[in-house]
Chains A and B, each alone.
Chain A
Amino acid sequence: MSDPMRIRLQSVAGVTTVKVLMSHEMESGQRRGEDGRIIPIWNIQDVSASWNGKVVMTAEWGGGISKNPFMQFAVKGTKPGDKISITWKDNRGDSRTDEVLVT
């Protein structure tokens, strides 16, 4: 099981800015190990963000996203108590979901 995401919310006038920090190696598949062989790609491929259970954004990522990925986006029309949840899935089938409440 991978480490939890760190999700920070900041709400101003019904717009909630969501900052997400994920814990993942994000091996690009371009690097060579000491034995000269390419280190296989290991990356988060699919990301989805939900607002009160409704998907509001999805993303597809390649090996070009940095290690321990950071992402920021903003949801419109939020109110205190709303639930924001983020899910990621990597190319090894590992996945993780974390959620936070709008304050």
Chain B
Amino acid sequence: MQLRFEEMMNTRRNALIKGTALSALLLESLMRAEDSFAYQQSAFDAKTVAELNKSLGLSVPLESSQISLLTPEIAENGAVVQVAATTTLANVRRWIFLVEKNPIPLVAIFNLTEDVLPSITARCKFAQTSDFIAYAQLADGRVYYNKKEVKVTLGGCGG
């Protein structure tokens, strides 16, 4: 009787150990799946445009006049600067908005589907006079950009 009880406990313990290992594995794969959708913190930590390109794993951006930017020439208040980007390029899957001279150049990433037009407007902070740069990433991974300077008379990052 005693033996059988011990055997039983053993099996239970083994099952428990196996179960724990399995749930740890499950948890790990779940976390990994989550990671692929997670907020790209490293890109928002990049302090230069070069660092940012590397962090996002982008191919070298090519300048394109097919991207039009609508920005103010002069912004009195750098805290709120409206910027708009639109393009005649086909298959744009992503817009990346940058303010080159901000402490953190990356402002926003917009992931588009075929159901939306390749035109986005947003409002950014400018710490100082800087180029506004918009990257358009196409479905095949190619990256095009255009840029426009915004003169700022009062900074928006309190820096």
Nearest CB of chain A from residue B109's CB, rounded to whole Å? 4
Nearest CB of chain B from residue A55's CB, rounded to whole Å? 7
Q: Contact: B125 with A72, CB < 8 Å?
A: no
Residue on B nearest A69 in the bound complex, by CB:
B123
Chain A residues within 8 Å of chain B by Cβ, number? 32
Out of B81, B104, B116, B117, which one reaches A30, CB within 8 Å? B104
The proximity string for B residues 125-155 relative to A, scoring 1 for CB distances below 8 Å and 0 otherwise, is 1010000000000000000000000000000
Q: Contact: A63 with B104, CB < 8 Å?
A: yes
List residues of chain A with CB within 8 A of the CB of B115. Answer: 51, 54, 56, 75-77
A60 contacts chain B at the CB level, 8 A cutoff: yes
- On whether A67 and B80 interact (CB within 8 A), knowing A57-B112, A59-B108, A59-B109, the answer reads yes
B113 contacts chain A at the CB level, 8 A cutoff: yes
Q: Contact: A64 with B113, CB < 8 Å?
A: no
The proximity string for B residues 38-58 relative to A, scoring 1 for CB distances below 8 Å and 0 otherwise, is 011000100000000000000
Q: Which A residues from 5 to 42 make CB contacts under 8 A with B?
A: 15, 28, 30-32
Residue on A nearest B102 in the bound complex, by CB:
A64
Alpha-carbon distance A87/B5, docked complex (angstroms): 56
8 further A-B contacts with Cβ under 8 Å, apart from A15-B117, A59-B111, are A58-B110, A62-B106, A63-B44, A64-B102, A64-B105, A64-B125, A69-B122, A70-B82
Closest 5 CB pairs of A and B: A72-B121, A64-B107, A31-B158, A66-B123, A56-B115
Residues of A whose CB lies within 8 Å of any CB of B are: 15, 28, 30-32, 45-46, 49, 51, 54-67, 69-77
